[in-house]
């Protein structure tokens, strides 16, 4: 029998018969490992313990202590266990697909009656029975005709359609969990008892069209979450409770920030309070970018398709663009324009005006650019996913030698901005060359090394995401962590030699010859709309004083204090504080409660005692303590707090 050589993580090698399984390899090492094993990494690929290994390879045996593979398998097995539970309770239900998603899984079912919350409880109970049964999981490889006949016999038309849609003619892998079977690529655990029975929960039911086609059958999608242990599940459910309390849509209504309506799907109607946040954030970013050497520009929102064709966006992005047809007075045919989905081609047009020299580089062009993208109605979510948005977009035109310095400066700027906005930690992911790409390996070596050196230069931690760069160049993605531990990808830095080449950007080098510049795409906040949603949820509406739309309410306790209230408001406004008066004939406790719901950071209560002493009683949002301070001290203190971070 042919032999193969397997290399272990410690560098040791062992010979085995060709076709040995990872389970047999684990057993050859120790009985203990064989019992703990759940899967293997074979040449970097996730392998089921039952799959044969045909050739020399590197191998590592996974156990439940290995976080990523363990969670993948637990969630994948739970998708199958849930589908089995559903069909054991309701045999007439048809099954479709059940992939792993963030924090859990879902499975789509065809059932005449809608699933109820009580049904979810019954399914959970049945799932725990299946887990406790410790039924073995086994896999076989079948020819397609046999698999189709199997599903036709059992009246599973969705499975038949799935098989017929799979390209090629390779055999298919079938999995059994006990007596229940499903078409699946795997891998899976070795028996149902390896799934922790107290670390999952069914969360919700939603409608989903078969294969995402609105003309096809509406199915019912059940979502579940799962973790390695009960403590992690409890932490996740607590986070979801916190997220619900912090929902920016709920707080946006309470704070009167914005609304959305059917007549303009995915477009934000900003109210005065929300627009105040927006403008303050824009003023702050404008100040920071100006200090960093960026020149602000403004480009059109409606651009002829010819530019999008030249840039390559028309071919690759047309279905996500809003198309505008215009009948020009003397034109023979309609002119086709598009609302810009991104700003980069327009920035190249600004760069191309006038001859550029190497002395002009790096040239940093920034725009608070208004963009529009056609997002599906099902994907839109408050401010987090919209069709009309503004980016803090900028493009840096530079030489290859300048990439590292520009990247390091950008990371330092981004880090400072995030810190000012309350985000002390963020992650950097460096996405490297994909299999399908343009440019030589030498060019990729140069720019990838430049980005990696820049990260090291500023002393930041990072991870490499192999093969996930754009076809034209590598990129950095920046994920910040909010107050309840969620990750948000906001900032980006991308190296692009392609677009300048397509759109004819060039500069005169020291040698007197023409050269193509590199174009660095960069954003710190990304979409203003989305970032404001993140801020609202991070702070649970209690925004930093300088960013709050309503900073101070001066509330009278008695009507005789109204004149002093007006004086205080005028003095605060003169020093740049957003102050307003509340002289309504209401009790002070009522006023405090109302303005606290509106997340006003500071309330100044004014009665006759304050009038006579020319003091104020200051209460901060979320605190019960009340301070009695002199008027001049309060004005000076609040005026300082109201300044933009870093402003003189």
Alpha-carbon distances of 630 from 201, 567, 592, 638, rounded to whole Å: 55, 14, 20, 12
Residue pointed to by tokens 């759109």: 503
393 tagged catalytic:
yes
User: Nearest 5°: phi and psi at 637?
Assistant: -65, -50
Contacts 24+ apart (CB under 8 A), 93-97: 94/155, 94/156, 94/157, 94/158, 95/156, 95/158, 95/159, 95/182, 96/158, 96/159, 96/162, 96/210, 96/219, 97/158, 97/162
332 tagged catalytic:
no
Q: Which of 84, 188, 373, 385 is catalytic?
A: 373
- CA pair distance 598, 556, nearest whole angstrom: 18
395 tagged catalytic:
yes
- CA pair distance 191, 199, nearest whole angstrom: 17
236 is in an annotated binding site: no
177 is in an annotated binding site: no
521 tagged catalytic:
yes
238 is in an annotated binding site: no
Helix (H) / strand (E) element for 448: namely: helix 441-457
What is the DSSP pairing of strand 335-339 with strand 363-372?
unpaired
236 tagged catalytic:
no
Query: What per-residue string of b and e applies to 160-170 under the rule 16 or more CB within 10 Å gives b?
Result: bebbeeeeeee
Q: Which of 184, 344, 407, 490 is catalytic?
A: 344
Residue pointed to by tokens 């190497």: 358
286 tagged catalytic:
no
Q: Which of 190, 391, 494, 551 is catalytic?
A: 391
Q: Which of 385, 387, 521, 599 is catalytic?
A: 521
Q: In what order do the strands lie in the sheet with 626-630?
A: 579-582, 552-556, 602-606, 615-620, 626-630
391 tagged catalytic:
yes
Are the beta carbons of 106 and 98 closer than 8 angstroms?
A: yes
Q: Which of 475, 522, 591, 599 is catalytic?
A: 475
User: Nearest 5°: phi and psi at 168?
Assistant: 85, -175
First-to-final CA distance of the chain: 79
Alpha-carbon distances of 461 from 31, 172, 478, 479, rounded to whole Å: 39, 42, 11, 12
- CA pair distance 506, 499, nearest whole angstrom: 11
Binding site, annotated residues: 344, 395, 521
Residues carrying an active site annotation: 344, 373, 391, 393, 395, 475, 521
Binding site, annotated residues for Zn(2+): 344, 395, 521
């Amino acid at each position: 029998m042919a032999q193969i050589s397997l290399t272990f993580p410690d560098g040791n090698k062992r010979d085995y018969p060709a076709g040995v399984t990872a389970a047999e390899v684990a057993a050859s090492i120790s009985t203990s490992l064989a019992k703990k094993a759940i899967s293997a990494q074979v040449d970097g690929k996730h392998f089921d313990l039952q799959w044969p290994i045909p050739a020399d390879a590197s191998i590592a045996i996974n156990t439940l202590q290995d976080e990523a593979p363990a969670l993948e398998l637990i969630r994948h097995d739970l998708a199958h266990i849930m589908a089995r539970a559903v069909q054991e309770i309701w045999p007439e239900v048809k099954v479709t697909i059940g992939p792993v998603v963030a924090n859990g899984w879902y499975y789509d079912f065809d059932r005449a009656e809608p699933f109820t919350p009580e049904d979810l409880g019954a399914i959970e109970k049945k799932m725990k029975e299946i887990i406790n049964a410790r039924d073995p999981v086994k896999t076989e490889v079948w020819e397609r005709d046999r698999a189709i006949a199997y599903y036709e016999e059992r009246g599973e038309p969705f499975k038949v359609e799935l098989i017929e849609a799979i390209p090629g003619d390779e055999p298919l892998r079938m999995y059994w969990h006990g007596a229940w079977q499903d078409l699946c690529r795997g891998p899976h655990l070795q028996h149902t008892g390896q799934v922790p029975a107290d670390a999952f929960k069914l969360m919700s039911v939603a409608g989903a069209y078969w294969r995402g086609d609105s003309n096809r059958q509406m199915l019912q999608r059940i979502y579940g979450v799962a973790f390695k242990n009960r403590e992690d599940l409890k932490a996740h459910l607590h986070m979801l409770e916190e997220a619900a309390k912090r929902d920016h849509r709920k707080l946006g209504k309470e704070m009167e920030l914005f609304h959305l309506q059917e007549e303009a799907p995915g477009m934000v109607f900003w109210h005065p309070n929300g627009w105040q946040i927006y403008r303050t954030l824009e003023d702050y970013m404008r100040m920071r970018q100006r200090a960093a050497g960026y020149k602000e520009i403004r480009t059109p929102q409606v651009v002829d398709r010819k530019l999008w064709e030249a840039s390559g966006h028309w071919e690759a992005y047309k279905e996500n663009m809003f198309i505008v047809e215009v009948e020009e007075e003397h034109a023979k045919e309609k002119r086709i324009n598009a609302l810009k989905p991104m700003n980069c081609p327009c920035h190249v047009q600004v760069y191309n005006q006038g001859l550029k020299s190497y002395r002009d580089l790096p040239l940093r062009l920034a725009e608070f650019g208004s963009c529009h993208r056609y997002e599906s109605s099902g994907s839109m979510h408050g401010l987090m996913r919209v069709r009309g948005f503004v980016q803090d977009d900028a493009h840096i035109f530079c030489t290859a030698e300048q990439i590292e310095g520009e990247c390091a400066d950008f990371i330092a700027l981004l880090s400072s901005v995030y810190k000012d906005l309350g985000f002390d930690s963020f992650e950097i992911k460096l996405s490297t060359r994909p299999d399908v790409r343009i440019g030589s390996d030498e060019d990729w070596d140069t720019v990838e090394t430049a980005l990696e050196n820049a990260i090291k230069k500023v002393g930041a931690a990072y991870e490499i995401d192999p093969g996930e760069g754009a076809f034209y160049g590598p990129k950095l993605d920046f994920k910040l962590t909010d107050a309840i531990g969620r990750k948000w990808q906001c900032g980006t830095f991308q190296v692009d030699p392609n677009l300048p080449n397509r759109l004819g950007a060039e500069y005169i080098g020291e040698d007197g010859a023409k050269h193509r510049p590199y174009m660095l795409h960069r954003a710190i906040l990304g979409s203003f709309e989305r970032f404001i949603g993140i801020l609202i949820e991070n702070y649970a509406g209690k925004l930093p004083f300088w960013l709050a739309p309503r900073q101070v309410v001066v509330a009278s306790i008695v009507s005789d204090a109204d004149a002093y209230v007006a004086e205080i408001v005028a003095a605060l406004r003169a020093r740049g504080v957003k102050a307003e008066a509340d002289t309504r004939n209401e009790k002070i406790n009522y006023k405090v409660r109302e303005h606290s719901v509106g997340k006003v950071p500071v309330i100044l209560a004014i009665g006759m005692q304050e009038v006579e002493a020319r003091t104020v009683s200051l209460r901060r949002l979320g605190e019960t303590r009340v301070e009695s301070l002199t008027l001049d001290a309060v004005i000076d203190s609040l005026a300082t707090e109201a300044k933009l971070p870093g402003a003189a």
